[in-house]
Amino acid sequence: MQPVDHTYTALNGRLLLENSLLNKGTAFTHEERTELDLHGLLPPRIETLEEQCHRAYKSFSIKPTPILKHIYLRALQDTNETLFYALLQRHLQEVLPIIYTPVVGQACQRFSDLYRRPRGLFIAYPDREHMDAMLANFRRNVEVIVVTDGERVLGLGDQGIGGMGICIGKLSLYSAVGGVTPNLTLPITLDCGTNNQELLDDPNYLGWRHNRIDDDAYYEFVDMFIQAVKRRWPNVLLQFEDFAIHHATPLLEKYRDEICSFNDDIQGTAAVAAGTLLSAAQSIGKSITDMRVAFLGAGSSGCGIAEQIIRLMVNRGLSDEEARSRFYMVDRHGLLTDNMTELHTFQQKLVQQSASLPDALQNQSAFLKDVVEHIKPDVIIGVSGQPGLFTQEIVEMMARNHERPIIFALSNPISQVEATPEDIIHWTEGRAVVATGSPFAPVEYNGRQYPIAQCNNIYIFPGLGLSVMASGATRISDGMLDKAVETLAKAAPSAMDPNGALLPSMENIQQVTRDIALYVAMQSGAEGLSPELSEEELKNRIQARFWEPTYRRMARTVV
């Protein structure tokens, strides 16, 4: 009988050390080194995981630039995943911006130059007929996939196969925060070509050097992928990541009831932004149902946030029509109204009726400044991907209209933010309630420190993943996302203290993730999307599924 607290492997020697999921490095004990033929392949000192973490953090800290820190962490992940995740958990606040936004954006832009070791799966359009064979190359069960086509990476546009960097980063957070076993995750890039001329001209670019395929071929290609995934891993959770506006919503609507899936840029971003807005409303003593909200940016992300907030308003008593009348969506063509043509389907549901607008807004040249001046929205939310569009004039107007204006500048990376928190705080004399999409240091103004809430999707997607795996949910419904929003808002310090932070601290992120997983799982059971289990049963399942980066005794497989 083999002890259950051991990990058994047929690998030994250098092959074992080159397997990042099994490698323990200098933590292999003397007995393990003897049994697994490791003597002489490692320095003689035997370290604990804690000692390794201390040494790795020291190496990380001396790297002089954020991108070099990112490269170091990726190399560590490719060498020893247990140590990588242990380091992440111990220094999450510091490491998060390095493995995720904003530094991951630079890594995506330089993906081909930085490429060292294979991770994930690249499915290029010319190889589409071999898709089943490519998925079969992963001879293990997979429970979470993050897939991209790289067409709209953050606010950086088309990065081709460089979008793989985002998928790797997201799955790292599934494991570090959501307790998903790394071996059960898989990042995938669908290489549909690229329209980024710099990449096409770059001799080092590793992707398919071809312009992006047209929509007919594109949708056929994606469908081939979805069907292949369903054949290979029918119960997988599939997360769509960084798809362009004209593809993201159609793909979500087509496949969300066919495979357990969600789009993090639409639904994850919407959930964390809505949860943060609920927290902001709590902190200033207003009801979300009384607010008017203006958006700068009416793409899939902005419209997704609007739809999530509308559901919150409806859940609190407003009719759908009343809720929608409170939203003012502004894109590069101006305020969206019923007089506009050629709008996307998801935009058409958020237009303002021209007849109900003030005269000054009844022309197609009405932009955010006009909306702020004539509508006096309580909230402005920026998801434009364009820097500096929350001008001093607009922000000061918000401050004249409201004692505590709510201003969310959510575009990322930092180079694309609509206004910096420092400017917003100064222009409003410290009265604005501010949230951003990228991390910013606290702002000091008139002797007071203002913490800046980062609407980071890390607050949502790991909890969704953990919930699906613990409950066995077959789909992710709007009701499940609503429950995640409510749970996040209740966990915010502002729920107890008006001066408290709008989002929980990173020190509490694992507990927040477990809470979201629990209540989302209870909701999925109530909707018949998973077995209906008691709260205690679900807590036990979540605990049992929550992977922790620790070393187990390793031994050779007994044949």
- Asked about 100 being catalytic, the answer comes back as yes
CA 379 to centroid of chain Cα atoms? 23
- Asked about 72 being catalytic, the answer comes back as no
Catalytic residue among 100, 174, 218, 255: 100
Residue 230 C-beta-side C-alpha neighbours within 13 Å: 14
Q: What is the DSSP letter of 13?
A: H
Structure tokens at 49: 């995981």
| 184 class by beta-carbon count within 10 Å (0-12 exposed, 13-18 middle, 19+ buried) | buried
User: Cβ contacts of residue 290 below 8 Å, gap of 6+?
Assistant: 378
Q: Which residues are annotated as a binding site for a divalent metal cation?
A: 241-242, 265
Q: How far is CA 358 from CA 85, 91, 127, 373, 488, in A?
A: 55, 51, 55, 11, 36
Q: Which residues are annotated as a binding site for (S)-malate?
A: 152, 412, 456
Residue matched to tokens 């510091």: 94
Is-contact 462 239, C-beta < 8 A?
Answer: no
Beta strands in 50-170 (DSSP E): 121-124, 144-148
Q: Which residues are annotated as a binding site?
A: 152, 241-242, 265, 412, 456
Q: What is the 3-state secondary structure (H, E, C) of 536-556?
A: HHHHHHHHHHCCCCCCCEEEE
**Interhelix angle for 535-545 vs 461-471, to 10°?**
110
Structure tokens at 423: 């400017």
Catalytic residue among 170, 174, 255, 328: 170
Catalytic annotation, residues: 100, 170
